Structures are given as structure tokens and as C-alpha cells.
Chain A
Amino acid sequence: MMKNLPIFFLLVGLGFSQSKVTIQDSEIEINDNEAVVEVLGMVCSMCAFGIGEGFSQTNFIDKSKFSDGVSVDIDAQYVQIGLLDSENVKPEKIVQVIEDAGYDVSLLFILQNEKLTKFSTDKLGILQPIAFNITSDNI
């Protein structure tokens, strides 16, 4: 076991700039400086419009990605956003936009600086990191 530790830390340290995450049986490709959010209650295009408007008013969205920085999938109930690489985006900022639009976050994945982090909302509605430097095998 001890012999394998250096290899483990080497792999973690290398990171990755692209991965896949799963939301409601949908496999989503996520690139560096992107986030994928599972949104509860997003059942119509008007709901999604409010979320898009909210992100467009922030200063951490990379509008060169997707449609003005935001891609919506109502079927799988997720929103994918491009993040400016100059900004180290806190997950709370992303959650605030979703909540200001009137919806709740169930899962959040952020791939930034080649580090993929998975957050989940606990029973108190507080976002908790539940996995760091995860790979598509252990999501």
C-alpha cells in the first residue's frame, strides 16, 4: 500500500482538463473552467430564462462558451456554464444565482485549474463538497 502512495499523489497532482459527470442518467462532458449544476424545479423554458439572465449579470461567466456562457438542458435538469479562468469561482456564487432565480441546487460540479470538485446540498440546504479531484470513474 505504502509503495503505491507516490503513484497516487502523482496522478492526483497531474489533474485533468476534461472529464465526464452524470446527472439524472445523462453523461455530460465538462471542460476546464466549466461548471455543471443540477437544478431542482427547472421545468420550463421561462424558468431556465431566469437562470440565464442571472448568470449574465455576474462577473465570472465566460460568455464565449455556449450561448452567452450558459447551456440549459431542461430534460436532464442541468445548467452548464463557462467560467472565466481569471476567476477562482466560489461554489456559493453559482448557487446564489440559481436560488435568486427561484430554484434549488442538488448537485454542482466545478472543473477549474484541472481540479474537478463535486458538491451536494445536504438536508439543511447547505452545499457541501463531497469529492475532490475526482475522475469520471468515481463520480
Chain B
Amino acid sequence: MFRIFFALIILLNSLSAHPVIFKNGKVFWITQNSSFNDMRFGVSKTNSWLIGGRLLEDRKSNETFALVNNNYLAKRWNSRNSQANLYLLSSVGLNTRNSKSMGTIGIHGDWENRRFMVMQMIEYFSYNSALVSNTRLAYSPYKVDYSKTSTWLIAHYRIEYSDNQYSYMFFPVIRLFKKNYLFEIGYNGNDSFLSFMTHF
């Protein structure tokens, strides 16, 4: 059921995210890659803490998890023409098939200005003891004002460590965003990556 719903959303739109947004802001965020379908809804109770729900499907094991998602902005550095962030991420919940508990914990750091962005995220998944690293380097070929569509070219590198094995993936990703909508698509010949996020 989740797959059908997810596929519909992908077809209609597609999915990605800032872990914490403005006070009282809401975020809907959906991401798909070869390993996961990940759908989240959250509310920023303050400008440094977001709480919400998360449905995470492991596409390899066909397991789905219902989680409470908790993101904390540990530190933000606002500068003239740039911004850097350090987030602490966590989720706790249940496997929908067997009600076994499951949790994730992660750390996310980024820096961006209007032309360049670097991001590093490391997340641990308790159910399969997997450690996943996502690294991004991004470049925007042009600067646009608030009302126009912004384009980013992203090199996304993913490393997953589980069962004493490493797997590596590289995605060239295109990010488009306008006002409060963000869309990303990536493809490397074997795997695809889709992400959609909106704030409201």
C-alpha cells in the first residue's frame, strides 16, 4: 500500500529537505533511492527543533517502519552571503510487520552560499546496523532572485556499510527550487534518486 501511495506521489511530483525550518513552519518531504522510500511530515516547534512522523521503507528487505522523527539544529552560523548548520537527527518507532522497535540516529553538517554548497550526513539504522554516509558538493550556475527558479548541479556520493560490506553509489543530481518548493532528480545509469520537499 505504501509502495502504491509512494509511486503515485513520485509520478505526480517527486521528492528532499532542510532538517529544521522556521518556527511553526511545516515540512513535507519525500525521498526515494535504490535503498529507501522515505516520507516525512514535520512541524518546527521552534527555529531549532522539528518533530514529525516518518514512514521509512527498506526496498531491499521490504520492511516498513513507522517512526517519530526528531531533528535538532545544534548550531547555525549566519554570515553575510553564507550559512552553515550542524543538525542532530533521530527517529524511533516500530517495524510495521512485526512491531519490533527501530531507531535511527544521525548528524548532518552543511555550508552554502548562493553559488556553492557542501553537505555531509551520517545516519545509523538500528534494525540492520547499517551506517550510511551521504556527501554532496553542489554548484549553482546562476543566481536568481526570490521569485525565480534556482538550479543546482549536485555531485551526491553515498556509502553504506552493513553486514561487514561497503556499497558505494554516485549520483549526479539536478536540484530545482522556487520559493517553498524543492525538487531533485538523480540518475547514475543503474540507480535513480528522487526527492521533493515543500515548506508551508
List A residues at the B interface (Cβ < 8 Å).
Answer: 24, 40-51, 53-54, 57, 72-75, 77, 99-104, 106
Summed over the interface, the residue pairs from A and B with CB atoms below 8 Å come to a total of: 85
Contact, CB under 8 Å: B78 / A45: no
A42 to B112 alpha-carbon distance, docked (Å): 10
Contact, CB under 8 Å: A44 / B199: no
* Residue among B22, B23, B177 with most chain A CB within 10 A: B22
Contact, CB under 8 Å: A45 / B178: yes
Cβ distance A79 to chain B, nearest Cβ, rounded Å: 10
Cβ distance A87 to chain B, nearest Cβ, rounded Å: 21
Interface footprint category on B = 20 to 34
Contact, CB under 8 Å: B146 / A50: no
Contact, CB under 8 Å: A49 / B180: yes
List B residues at the A interface (Cβ < 8 Å).
Answer: 18, 20-25, 46-48, 73, 76-83, 112-114, 143, 145-147, 150, 177-180, 182, 199-200
Contact, CB under 8 Å: A24 / B177: no
A100 to B147 alpha-carbon distance, docked (Å): 22
A-B contact pairs, 22 of them (CB 8 A): A24-B80, A41-B77, A41-B79, A43-B83, A44-B114, A44-B177, A45-B146, A45-B177, A45-B178, A45-B180, A46-B180, A49-B179, A49-B180, A50-B21, A50-B199, A53-B199, A54-B22, A54-B23, A74-B145, A74-B146, A75-B145, A100-B24
With both beta carbons as reference points, the residue of chain A lying nearest to B18 in the complex is identified as: A46
* Residue among A48, A49, A57, A73 with most chain B CB within 10 A: A49
Cβ distance B192 to chain A, nearest Cβ, rounded Å: 24
Contact, CB under 8 Å: A50 / B145: no
Cβ distance B156 to chain A, nearest Cβ, rounded Å: 18
A40 to B20 alpha-carbon distance, docked (Å): 17
Cβ distance A118 to chain B, nearest Cβ, rounded Å: 17
A53 to B198 alpha-carbon distance, docked (Å): 13
Contacts of A102 on B, CB cut-off 8 Å?
20-22, 47-48, 73, 76, 78
